[in-house]
C-alpha cells in the first residue's frame, strides 16, 4: 500500500498503533510520524493513539486533558483519528456530545490549555518535525477486528488467550486478517467479487459508472463486528444497487436481446460458477453447490433479488467475545435472544433441491431442524448450455441418492433453467427414481428472495397453489407460476446479530418452498416446472 498511495500522490496516512506495536515499537516511541516504503516509494505514517480513541468522547474531557498532560514539554504529536459516527450517530452519543456539551467542554479545555497544548494539521507536523525513523509495518488491524474476522471457535480461543496475557505480550497476539471476512461470510465474498467484476467493466468502459462503483465500495456492508455490517440489508442492497447501476453505465452484459455466458471461478473456491448476463439481467449459478442460483440482478430496477444472508453462529450468541463492545454507554445484550437462534446448514439460494421425509412440518424446516433425505443440496451438478430462440437454457443434472440410515435409493435430478432476456426465468424439473424400490420422499425446490420487509411474503402454508404474487414497495412485484398445484411453504429468514444497541433480529428475505408430495415407483419420473418473473 505504501507504493500505491505514494504513486497516487499521498504524502501520509494514519494507522492504528497496533501496527507499530506488532513491529516491535514501544508506546513511548509513538509520539510523531514515521516513514515506511515499498519499491523505493516513501510514505509518512502517523500512529493513532489507542488511549485517545477510547477516551474521546466517552470519558469526561478532563480525563483527556490529564492524559495529554503526560506529554507536556516532550515535543510530542499524538493522533486521534476514529469513526465520525461516535460523535453523534452511535446510540446515546448525540446526547453525550451535544446536549451534555462534551464537544463544547472539550474545545473550551483545549483553549484553556493552549500554553502547552496545540492542535495541528498533519501537514503542520510533517513540515515542523522530522520523521522518527524507518518502519516496516505488518498487515493487521486493531485487536477487536482481528477477533471478529475469525470463525466462532478460534475467536473464543483468542479471547481466552488475550485475557490471560499482559500488555507486553498482547502486542504479538494476532487474530484474523480483514479479508477473512470474505471466507467467513460467503455473502460478503459475493459482494466483493461482484465489485471486482464491475470495477473491471467500468475500467474497460473508460470510467463510465465510476460514481456508482465508488459508492458501492463503501466498506460497511462487507464485514461484521460490533455493528450490523453485512447483516444490514439496506446497506447490502444499496451496494448491489450501485454495482448494478455502474454495470449499466459501463454497458456490461451486452445487448438486451442476448446473453453472455461465462464459466469462471467466481468466488475463488476452486470450483467454477456460471455467469449469464444480458442487458436486463444477470444470473449467477453454482453447479458445484447444488446448482443453486445465488444472484439474480434485475437491471430495470437495479435490484438483486437474491441478496439475502444465511443464519450462522456468532461468538456472542453463546456469551463469548465480551470484549466486543463500543463502550459502556453504547448497547448491551438484550433479553432472551437465544430462542430466536436457528442456523442454516447451507447457504441460502434459489434452486436448491430438497427431499423431505413425509410428515415434515414447516416449523421444522424454518428452524433447520428437519431431516434432509437427499444428497443434492451441497453436491455437484453437471451442466450443459444451449441457446434457444428466446432464452438461454442451462441444464443441470445429478445422479444422487436418498438416504434412510445406511440405506440409499438412487435418484436422478435434472433441471432445465431457462433465462429470459426480459429478466424472468424458469426451472423445469425431472426427478427420476433410478432404483428398484418406491420412494416416499417429498420434493421441495427452494426459492429465496430478498424482499424489503417480511409483510411482502406472509409466513405460513397454502394448499393447491398454482401461482403467487408478491408486491414489494421497494423492489417491485414478483410473480410465481407452477405447472401443477403445490403445497406452498413460506417463512422469513431472520438473523440474530449484534449492533450498537445490542442484539437485533433482522429480516433478510423470505424462503419459499413449493412442496410436491408424490411417491415415485421404480423408474417413475416427477415432472414439474416453475416460473419467476418481475411484474
Which residue, among 416, 422, 417, 351, has the nearest Cα to 390 in the 3D structure? 422
Strands 460-472 and 442-449, by their bridges, are: unpaired
Instruction: Report the distance separating Cα 184 and Cα 187, nearest Å.
Output: 9
Give how far Cα 273 sits from Cα of 8, 197, 255, 283, 294, Å. 35, 14, 22, 11, 10
Give how far Cα 405 sits from Cα of 371, 373, 402, 409, Å. 11, 9, 10, 11
Give the pLDDT confidence score for residue 174 in this predicted structure.
84
Whether 242 is in a domain gets the answer no
Strands 425-433 and 407-420, by their bridges, are: antiparallel
End of a domain among 140, 155, 172?
Answer: 140
Give the helix/strand (H/E) hosting 244.
Answer: helix 233-249
**How many other β-carbons are positioned within 10 Å of the β-carbon of residue 270?**
7
* Greatest Cα pair distance in the chain: 93
For the chain, the distance separating the N- and C-terminal CA atoms, rounded to the nearest angstrom, is: 47
Instruction: Report the distance separating Cα 154 and Cα 139, nearest Å.
Output: 19
What's the half-sphere exposure (Cβ side, CA atoms, 13 Å) at 162? 19
Grid coordinates representing 391? Answer: 432464452
Give the pLDDT confidence score for residue 501 in this predicted structure.
74
Grid coordinates representing 135? Answer: 518502519
Whether 266 is in a domain gets the answer no
Give the pLDDT confidence score for residue 500 in this predicted structure.
73
Give the pLDDT confidence score for residue 24 in this predicted structure.
92
Give the pLDDT confidence score for residue 91 in this predicted structure.
85
Residue 212 phi/psi, 5° resolution? -65, -40
pTM of the entire predicted model: 0.90
CB 235 within 8 A of CB 307: no
Grid coordinates representing 111? Answer: 483553549
Give the pLDDT confidence score for residue 254 in this predicted structure.
61
Whether 123 is in a domain gets the answer yes
Query: CA 7 from chain center: how many Å?
Result: 31
Give the pLDDT confidence score for residue 443 in this predicted structure.
98
| Domain containing residue 70 | 2-140
Angle between helices 102-112 and 61-69 (to 10 degrees): 30
Give the pLDDT confidence score for residue 332 in this predicted structure.
39
Average pLDDT across each block of 10 residues of the chain; the chain has 535 residues. List them in order. Answer: 95 95 93 97 96 96 97 94 91 95 98 96 95 94 89 91 86 88 96 97 96 96 86 96 96 73 95 95 98 98 97 83 36 62 96 97 97 95 95 97 92 98 97 95 97 96 98 96 98 89 88 96 97 97
Whether 458 is in a domain gets the answer yes
Instruction: Report the distance separating Cα 377 and Cα 368, nearest Å.
Output: 13
- Give the angle subtended at the CA of 214 by the CAs of 208 and 218, to the nearest 5°: 160
Grid coordinates representing 415? Answer: 433441471
End of a domain among 119, 140, 161?
Answer: 140
Whether 196 is in a domain gets the answer no
Instruction: Report the distance separating Cα 401 and Cα 413, nearest Å.
Output: 10
Grid coordinates representing 282? Answer: 444477470
Cis peptide before 57 (omega within 30 of 0): yes
Q: What percentage of the chain exceeds 90 in pLDDT?
A: 81
Give the pLDDT confidence score for residue 257 in this predicted structure.
61
End of a domain among 95, 118, 140?
Answer: 140
Give the helix/strand (H/E) hosting 193.
Answer: helix 186-204
Instruction: Report the distance separating Cα 94 and Cα 102, nearest Å.
Output: 10
> What is the SS3 assignment for 451-471?
CCCHHHCCCEEEEEEEEEEEE
Whether 41 is in a domain gets the answer yes
Domain total of the chain: 2
Residue 486 sits in a domain whose CATH number is 2.70.98.10
Whether 311 is in a domain gets the answer no
Whether 214 is in a domain gets the answer no
Amino acid at each position: 500500500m505504501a507504493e500505491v498511495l505514494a504513486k497516487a500522490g499521498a504524502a501520509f496516512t494514519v494507522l492504528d498503533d497496533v501496527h507499530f506495536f506488532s513491529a516491535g515499537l514501544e508506546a513511548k516511541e509513538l509520539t510523531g510520524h514515521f516513514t515506511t516504503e515499498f519499491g523505493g516509494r516513501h510514505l509518512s505514517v502517523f500512529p493513532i493513539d489507542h488511549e485517545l480513541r477510547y477516551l474521546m468522547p466517552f470519558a469526561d474531557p478532563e480525563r483527556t486533558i490529564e492524559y495529554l498532560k503526560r506529554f507536556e514539554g516532550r515535543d510530542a504529536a499524538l493522533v486521534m483519528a476514529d469513526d465520525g459516527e461516535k460523535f453523534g450517530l452511535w446510540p446515546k452519543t448525540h446526547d453525550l456530545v451535544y446536549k451534555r456539551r462534551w464537544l463544547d467542554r472539550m474545545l473550551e479545555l483545549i483553549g484553556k490549555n493552549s500554553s502547552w497544548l496545540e492542535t495541528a494539521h498533519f501537514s503542520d507536523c510533517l513540515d515542523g518535525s522530522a520523521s522518527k525513523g524507518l518502519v516496516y509495518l505488518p498487515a493487521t488491524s486493531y485487536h477487536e477486528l482481528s477477533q471478529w474476522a475469525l470463525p466462532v471457535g478460534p475467536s473464543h480461543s483468542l479471547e481466552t488467550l488475550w485475557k490471560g496475557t499482559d500488555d507486553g505480550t498482547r502486542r504479538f497476539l494476532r487474530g484474523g486478517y480483514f479479508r477473512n471476512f470474505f471466507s467467513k461470510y460467503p455473502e460478503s465474498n459475493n459482494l466483493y467479487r461482484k465489485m471486482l467484476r464491475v470495477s473491471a467493466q467500468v475500467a474497460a468502459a473508460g470510467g463510465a459508472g465510476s460514481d456508482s462503483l465508488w459508492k458501492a465500495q463503501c466498506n460497511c456492508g462487507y464485514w461484521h463486528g460490533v455493528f450490523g455490517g453485512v447483516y444490514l440489508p439496506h446497506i447490502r442492497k444499496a451496494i448491489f444497487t450501485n454495482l448494478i447501476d455502474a454495470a449499466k453505465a459501463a454497458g456490461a452484459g451486452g445487448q438486451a436481446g442476448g446473453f453472455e455466458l461465462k464459466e469462471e471461478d467466481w468466488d475463488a473456491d476452486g470450483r467454477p460458477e456460471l455467469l449469464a448476463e444480458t442487458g436486463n439481467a444477470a444470473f449467477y449459478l453454482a453447479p458445484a453447490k447444488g446448482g443453486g442460483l445465488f444472484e439474480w440482478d434485475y437491471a430495470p430496477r437495479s435490484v438483486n433479488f437474491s441478496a439475502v444472508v444465511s443464519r450462522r453462529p456468532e461468538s456472542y450468541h453463546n456469551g463469548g467475545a465480551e470484549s466486543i463492545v463500543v463502550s459502556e454507554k453504547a448497547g448491551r445484550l438484550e433479553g432472551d435472544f437465544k430462542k430466536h437462534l436457528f442456523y442454516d446448514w447451507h447457504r441460502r439460494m434459489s434452486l436448491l433441491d430438497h427431499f423431505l421425509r413425509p410428515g415434515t412440518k414447516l416449523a421444522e424446516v424454518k428452524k433447520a431442524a428437519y431431516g434432509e433425505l437427499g444428497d443434492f443440496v451441497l453436491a455437484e451438478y453437471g451442466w450443459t448450455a444451449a441457446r434457444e430462440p428466446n432464452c438461454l437454457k442451462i441444464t443441470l443434472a445429478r445422479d444422487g441418492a436418498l438416504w434412510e440410515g445406511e440405506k440409499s435409493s438412487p435418484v436422478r435430478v435434472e433441471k432445465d433453467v431457462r433465462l429470459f432476456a426480459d429478466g424472468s426465468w424458469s426451472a423445469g424439473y425431472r426427478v427420476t427414481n433410478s432404483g428398484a424400490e418406491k420412494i416416499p420422499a417429498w420434493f421441495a425446490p427452494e426459492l429465496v428472495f430478498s424482499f424489503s420487509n417480511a409483510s411482502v411474503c406472509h409466513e405460513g402454508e397454502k394448499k393447491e397453489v398454482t401461482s403467487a404474487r408478491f408486491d414489494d414497495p421497494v423492489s417491485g412485484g414478483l410473480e410465481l407460476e407452477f405447472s401443477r398445484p403445490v403445497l406452498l411453504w413460506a417463512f422469513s429468514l431472520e438473523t440474530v446479530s449484534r449492533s450498537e444497541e445490542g442484539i437485533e433480529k433482522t429480516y433478510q428475505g423470505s424462503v419459499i418452498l413449493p412442496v410436491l408430495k408424490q411417491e415415485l415407483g421404480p423408474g417413475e419420473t416427477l415432472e414439474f416446472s416453475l416460473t419467476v418473473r418481475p411484474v
